[in-house]
Chains A and B, each alone.
Chain A
Amino acid sequence: MAISPSIITGSHVLKHRHGMSGMESSDGEEYTYQDESGEEDVGGVESQEEEEEYSYSDGEGGCAPVPLPPPSSSMADGCKVIDADELRATMSALIDDISSVLAIHPCAAAALLRHYNWNKESVIDSFCTDPDQAKEKAGIMRFVPDLQTSDKGRLCGICREDVPAEALVALGCGHFFCRGCFTQYLVSKVEEGMGCPLTRCPEYRCPEMVTENFFRVLVPHATLAAYLRYSLKSFVDICSAFRWCPGRGCDFVAMGNSSLRACLCKCGMLFCFRCGEEAHVPASCEDMVTWVEKCKNESETANWILANTRKCPKCATRIEKNQGCNHMTCRQCKFEFCWICMGPWTEHGANTGGYYKCNKYDPSTPTKDEQDGAKAKAELDRYLHYYQRYDNHHKAQEYATKQEEEIERRMMRLQETDGSRWIDVQFLKVANEKLVECRRVLKYTYVFGYYLPEGTARKRLFEHHQENLEKFTEHLSWLSEQSLEEFKKEEKRSEVVNYTRVTETFLKNLLKSVEDGLMDEDGEDMEEGGWEGKSEPGRRAGAAGGGQVGEAAEEGRRTLPSRDGAGGGARARRSGVARA
């Protein structure tokens, strides 16, 4: 691509806005944060927060705010994390079960289970229907628990030597080989790796399976250990009820089912049970596959463009930002704009009083460049919009994760300076954990959003949730980074505690909304649950008139349980007003 960068330096003192404060803070820039008074949305936030406080007080006998342990993530429910020993016990139990039900040797039971993908029902089914066929398929037709010995000397099929009877061994199939060759064969199978639990007799196309007992008798200790590891590994890989934790160097295994979207491991890793990647709600596994593939393909171009250049939104000159703040002035046309959203800078000041919605993608702005405004280009711009925000949240998530140690230090210091108890300073940790979670979800909302069709009521509702969560996450991020001096004040602590809760409510609202309402195309195919039906008129209205997103959101929220519902409704009304 032909790019002639004209280098421009930002020349104004940067005032970070909600939209990006968390991301910027990681590059070490100094910044001051201040709520822009008169901003309707922020005003709304304050009052909502009061509502939240009241409702929590009601629920907890009027002793709010109390720093509570982190609310357990409802997403991680229904998932049990076990270690290798427990896993081995589970596997043995299953084998023993089949062994006693079908009255066969455990080794034969294991071979059957392996053949039928560890599905107990289909093992029993097939075995009861036609035991011979099941045995044949599983390679245990002529199963014997121990090595066969020969009654006379023979030629070993592998080394072609004449071997005396006592040095010959065979499986139940009676293909004799000398002990040394057989052992070598088994060792080489284990060295080959993964497939070794399915080793068959060395004779060409002999279906007889080499079961665990033979490995135990023949191979050296270290090889046997490797065999058992592979055996366990294939058990987990095949069983859909298990999933290895993808965390680095983590040996834990999660037990659950594929409807689980998120599973929390003992090592702290939160991952998707279905695909084994980091938990990516609200985006689906399929979206993630396409997204990751896309990012890989576009990454070179995208990264270079993102890292180095932007077009001036007015005259389309390519601009490389090499230093300074986000307030840019184009050298060509003197247009002043924001480097993050590329909107005119005049919309960013306190004097306009408008909260700038940086999370929204407006297809009309980047396609102004009609000269080479090919569709592909618009698509790349659209992708970049989502990728950039995805990437920003990703970095912010990493930053917040790295902060964990620092937070511990801050908690210690806070305890030392004003004699707070351990429980009193927990709020910092809780807030940071919530931040990490929100960053992760926000990151994936941009994958979800990218694949959500433009211009639909669903998308508007989703972006509304996204915007709320983003706004509160940024504010919480700023709040929890304040100096320790600030946290000596009780009201500051309560603010963090409350914001943590409010942010969590927004997080839940977003996820719940995606789970329930956004999943169906414009209100069609709605069958289950009364609320979806009720909310339909509201959504239809939202689809018809662009200004009624608030109303639609409100309808959706009414269905949320108790206090969340009440607070959410009020919130939605406010934001509806704020936008009108």
Chain B
Amino acid sequence: MADTDMELWPQEDNIRLWHAIIQGPGETPFEGGTFELRIEVGTDYPIRPPVIRFVTHIFHPNIHFETGEICLDILKKEWSPAWSLQTACRAVVALLAAPDAESPLNCDAGNMLRGGDVRAYNAMARLYTVEYGSATRRG
């Protein structure tokens, strides 16, 4: 696999269920953390996008803290069938570095950024990265 900062593998008994470990991008509060993604690949993939969720808790305005749901246009409306699981995961990594406070799934994180309180956001995101961000490949 070309990306050294990413691991991507299918579940042994199910080719439609993939897992990924991504690394928090540098110069972000997620730096040094590792996060597990769960990727459901439908029968109509790649015409329709895969469903990607965070398994690891993460504090980010566009990621639901409990369910791990991701709000990212290229995983919904802007999906292109010319994309792969790897490019999709890379887009998720890019999202970590570029949060969009305008469409928050995590309102606390969104409000901090919208209110301009970057220090508080960084501190909270860092706290949760240290607390949860140490996912490793299982199985």
Contacts and interface: CB of A to CB of B under 8 A. Distances in A.
A202 B82 contact: yes
B78 A205 contact: yes
A185 B78 contact: no
Interface in A153-212: 157-160, 175, 177, 181, 184-185, 188, 202-206
A158 B48 contact: no
Nearest to A195: B77
Contacts of B80: 202-206
B77 to A, nearest CB: 9
Contacts of B47: 158, 181, 184-185, 188
Interface residues of B, number: 11
Contacts of B83: 204
B36 to A, nearest CB: 26
Contacts, number: 32
Contacts of B46: 158-159
Contacts of A177: 81-82
B78 A158 contact: no
Interface string B63-83: 000000000001000101111
B48 A188 contact: yes
Nearest to A188: B47
B44 interface: yes
Nearest to B83: A204
Interface residues of A, number: 15
A203 B44 contact: no
B15 to A, nearest CB: 15
B67 to A, nearest CB: 24
Nearest to A182: B81
A360 to B, nearest CB: 49
Interface in B55-100: 74, 78, 80-84
B65 to A, nearest CB: 29
Contacts of B78: 205
Nearest to A203: B82
Nearest to B77: A195
Nearest to B46: A158
Most chain B CB inside 10 Å of its own CB: which residue of A175, A177, A188, A202:
A202
Contacts of A159: 46
A204 B46 CA distance: 12
A205 B79 CA distance: 9
Given A158-B82, A202-B81, A202-B82, 17 more contacts: A157-B82, A158-B46, A158-B47, A160-B84, A175-B82, A177-B81, A177-B82, A181-B47, A181-B81, A184-B44, A185-B81, A188-B44, A188-B47, A203-B82, A204-B74, A204-B80, A205-B80
Interface of B: 44, 46-48, 74, 78, 80-84
The 5 closest A-B pairs by CB, nearest first: A204-B80, A157-B82, A158-B81, A202-B81, A188-B47
